Structure 1
Amino acid sequence: MNLEEYFRRIGFHGSYDKLDLATLKLIHKLHILSIPFENLSIHCGERIIMDLEVIFNKVVRNSRGGWCLENNFLFNWVLREMGYDTTMLGSRVFNSILNDFDSDDSHLINKVVIDGKPYITDVSFGVSFQIWEPLELISGKDQHQAAGVFRLLDKGHIWVLEKTARKPLVVNPEFAKSNLVNRYETNQIYCFTYKPRESEHFLETNHKLQTDPASLFTNKSICSLQTPTGFKALIGWTYCEVTYKPEEGVDVLDMRDVTDDQIEQILREQFNVKLQSKLQPKNKKVCYTI
């Protein structure tokens, strides 16, 4: 870990002498504004490897993004190097088709304790479900952020993260009924326990998610990045720019389809992503909303 390189990657120029909540909030937000949530390696014929040196070179030195098993694993390393009291946790993502949480820990998050108070950090869920700063680990508290109202609920044996959103306003008539548009006001996102996890816990999942024909990530090529006013995303050949307008009670979605010839330029100009291998975009019909 070279903290100075990481800080340059996210544009952090401050001091981290104080391991306080303000510093944690700042690097969390800078990370999600600078490093995309993306699974493009799968669709470039590359393997995603849970090795910190490999992830550091990919994300920090080669200006790529990654999915949660890369981004949050890297963020855990950053926090440990800075001196924060942090623990990796596994979480199970909500499956709307099953109306229940997945059976396996497919998502990695971090718990950070500051002055005896626990917080959840997650820099890699992407799109409108991305938290912009750590969440206080308090049950039932409405925590207002750019994307909407997040809350953590203590269910006794598990904690559940849910979000209440604004109404989507799709400006392009041809996308008014797109299955990428999330129309539920409140969404359960994932659940977790306090049980500490090491990277080995996720190795089988890491392999399955990028090889299973039924996996979301083998069926869709995804790249999303938070912006100061919302987020942008490229799902297969569909490019979206989303602007949060809480004062109007809506999220404005500007969506358009692009051609194969435009993909590389969009990734470079909108996400600062430069691929070394040819991307084969994919957008099969599996349940996924932005």
Structure 2
Amino acid sequence: MKGKMNLEEYFKRIGFHGSYDKPDLGTLKLIHKQHVMSLPFENLSMHCGERITMDLEVIFNKLVRSNRGGWCMENNSLFGWVLRKMGYDTVTLGSKVFHSTTNVFGPADTHLINKVVIDGKAYITDVSFGVSSQLWEPLELVSGKGQPQAAGIFRLIDKGDIWVLEKTGRKPKVVNPEFAKSSLVNRVETNQIYCFSLVPREVDHFLETNNKLQTDPSSLFTNKTICSLQTPTGFRALVGWTYSEVTYKPEEDVDVLDMRDIPDEEIDQILKEKFCIMLKDKLQPVNKTACYTL
């Protein structure tokens, strides 16, 4: 793999100041959470006239040195490289995202994740799904076990040739009446998120998909500009012109959604203040019809 990357820069980017000499579960959990709190899940580059690549050096420069985020092909590729550099036993897997409109999983591996084995136990790490489906820490690869996290209860289910990730969440409580019927609000309590096999994948497996996701007119990512970042109490997201701050309130069994529309002239300011993102090129926000919920 190419050079010009180092762990110290990455750890500074995510605000990690601990020891990383021992590749154990505690350290993995910590850097996983720090990553999702620091590096947004976003597809803004393709709406600024830039091409998204899977070149690790380019990804490192963008996400770490330029204080940007990225989608799964970038965030999880970077995270997998970090884990290997730290000495973790890790492989890359491909997964198929669940489409609620058709009630089936997509035909191609459009989502990249990592599997890590520690002391004989396997874990799934995924630092780049975004919004309320984002894992804050790794999931143990055991079937049917409810694994509570901030967003809800996640489960991995062994279906034989594939595993399925699902999440049981809470009821949405929308603060703003004008957004009560917004298509961005998820009203399904238990959601299937994606399925995956345990066959290790190399970067070549994703190159065609990485290109298609940013060029196909039917792709979610060509139809919407998306930027989300986890916070200690939930997450914030900008989808098209709609900015949302979501607060998890498990004690009330609700997620509180504070939503508002942002005028064009304030988009750059929101990106800077809420996501610490300053784009080099002009963003063209998009929010066409496509199924996507917070």
TM-score scaled by length of structure 1 = 1.00
CA distance in 2, matches of 1:96, 1:252: 22
**Equivalent residues in 2 for 1:78-227 (5 A)?**
78-227=82-231
Instruction: Return the offset for 1:285.
Output: 1.1
Q: How many positions carry a matched residue from both structures?
A: 290
Runs of 4+ in 1 over 6 A off after TM superposition: none
| Residue of structure 2 aligned with 1:289, choices 273, 281, 293 | 293
CA distance in 2, matches of 1:221, 1:79: 29
Structure 1 residues without counterparts, runs of 5 or longer: none
Q: Deviations over 1:238-263 (max 9, x none)?
A: 00000000000000000000101110
Aligned to 1:8: 12
AA at the equivalent of 2:85: E
CA distance in 1, matches of 2:184, 2:289: 10
AA at the equivalent of 2:271: L
Query: Is the partner of 1:162 in helix, strand or coil?
Result: strand
Is residue 2:17 matched to residue 1:24? no
Aligned to 1:246: 250
Q: Deviations over 1:124-170 (max 9, x none)?
A: 00000001000000000000000000000001110000000000000
| Residue of structure 2 aligned with 1:72, choices 64, 73, 76 | 76
CA distance in 2, matches of 1:289, 1:260: 22
Aligned to 1:259: 263
Q: Deviations over 1:21-52 (max 9, x none)?
A: 00000000000000000000011010000000
CA distance in 2, matches of 1:97, 1:208: 20
AA at the equivalent of 1:195: V
CA distance in 2, matches of 1:165, 1:182: 10
CA distance in 2, matches of 1:56, 1:42: 17
Q: Percent identity?
A: 77
AA at the equivalent of 1:269: E
CA distance in 2, matches of 1:288, 1:269: 24
Is residue 2:56 matched to residue 1:63? no
CA distance in 2, matches of 1:247, 1:17: 38
Instruction: Return the offset for 1:83.
Output: 0.4
Structure 2 residues without counterparts, runs of 5 or longer: none
CA distance in 2, matches of 1:163, 1:112: 21
AA at the equivalent of 1:62: S
Q: Deviations over 1:68-117 (max 9, x none)?
A: 00000000000000000000000000011221100000000000000000
Query: Is the partner of 2:205 in helix, strand or coil?
Result: helix
Query: Is the partner of 2:129 in helix, strand or coil?
Result: coil
CA RMSD of aligned residues (A): 0.4
Query: Is the partner of 1:79 in helix, strand or coil?
Result: helix
Query: Is the partner of 2:252 in helix, strand or coil?
Result: coil
Instruction: Return the offset for 1:193.
Output: 0.6
Aligned to 1:272: 276
